[in-house]
């Protein structure tokens, strides 16, 4: 396999408590730590391991967003990716537009495998990978917890409702990964310095000549309501009575 394409999305770090702006216009990001979407970081780690085993020669990381996403791409380069591509889209787009962007890059780069996180922790859509496979007309394996590449085929262990499912797919293909696939490596200072010299190309989304759905307009945000305090009961009879009072029995 020649190339592996990996998607990286810039999101609020998962350790940060998300806060809604006072005017309800969106999520507060000023002074907030931003990171690579955790599922995408796992996807990159898996791509790097495949390359280190000698089953791929190049790992390319891709981000779709504004110039701020260069930070996450540089982190991906520091982890070990060979080069990066930033598709400058400006506005928030729908998953179908993102899938079309990836398809346009696939036509340029001709990768043997595309690995994406199964979802992003900010919108939880879990749609881009599936849409990309349909547009590309190539096999897909979603929610993967294990990936083995064997020549022009891959064996994928998927997490499903009833347990684990093992499937074999032909390459090229799209794989979306789950949290249990691996533990991403830590980035060391020397690798951060080396990453500054690795190529990072910026492409305006208009240059790809893809069909774009209207930009998503976020009308209003509000935090979830406070959770009600629990009710203490003395015995089973009290529990039954409390449930009846709430109309649950």
Mean pLDDT, the chain, as a whole number?
Answer: 91
pLDDT in tens, 30-53: 888 989 999 999 999 999 999 999
pLDDT in tens, 106-163: 999 999 999 999 999 988 889 999 999 999 999 999 999 999 999 999 999 998 888 8
- 22 versus 166: which is more confidently predicted? 166
- pTM, whole model, 2 decimals? 0.85
Query: Domains, the chain, ranges and CATH?
Result: 3-245 (3.40.50.620)
pLDDT at 215: 65
Residue 55 pLDDT more than 80?
Answer: yes
Q: Kindly state the percentage of the chain with pLDDT values over 70.
A: 98
Residues 6+ apart with CB under 8 A from 159: 143, 144, 145, 165, 178, 180
The arithmetic mean of pLDDT across residues 76-90, rounded, is 94
């Amino acid at each position: 396999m020649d190339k592996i394409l990996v998607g990286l999305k810039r999101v609020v770090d998962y350790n940060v408590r998300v806060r809604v702006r006072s005017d309800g216009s969106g999520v507060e990001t000023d002074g907030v730590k931003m990171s690579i979407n955790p599922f995408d970081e796992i996807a990159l780690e898996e791509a790097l391991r495949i390359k280190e085993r000698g089953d791929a020669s190049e790992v390319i990381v891709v981000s779709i967003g504004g110039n701020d996403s260069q930070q996450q791409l540089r982190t991906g380069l520091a982890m070990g990716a060979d080069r990066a591509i930033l598709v400058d889209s400006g506005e928030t787009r729908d998953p179908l537009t993102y899938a079309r962007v990836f398809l346009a890059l696939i036509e340029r780069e001709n990768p043997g495998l595309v690995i994406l996180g199964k979802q992003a922790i900010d919108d939880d859509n879990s749609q881009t990978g599936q849409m990309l496979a349909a547009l590309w007309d190539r096999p897909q394996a979603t929610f993967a917890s294990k990936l083995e590449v064997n020549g022009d085929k891959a064996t994928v262990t998927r997490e499903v409702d009833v347990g684990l499912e093992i499937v074999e797919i032909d390459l090229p293909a799209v794989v979306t990964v789950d949290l249990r696939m691996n533990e991403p490596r830590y980035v060391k200072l020397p690798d951060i310095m080396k990453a500054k010299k690795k190529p990072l190309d910026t492409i305006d989304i208009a240059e790809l000549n893809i069909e774009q759905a209207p930009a998503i307009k976020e009308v209003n945000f509000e935090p979830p309501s406070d959770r009600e305090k629990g009710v203490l009961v003395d015995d089973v009879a009290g529990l039954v009575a409390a449930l009846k009072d709430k109309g649950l029995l």
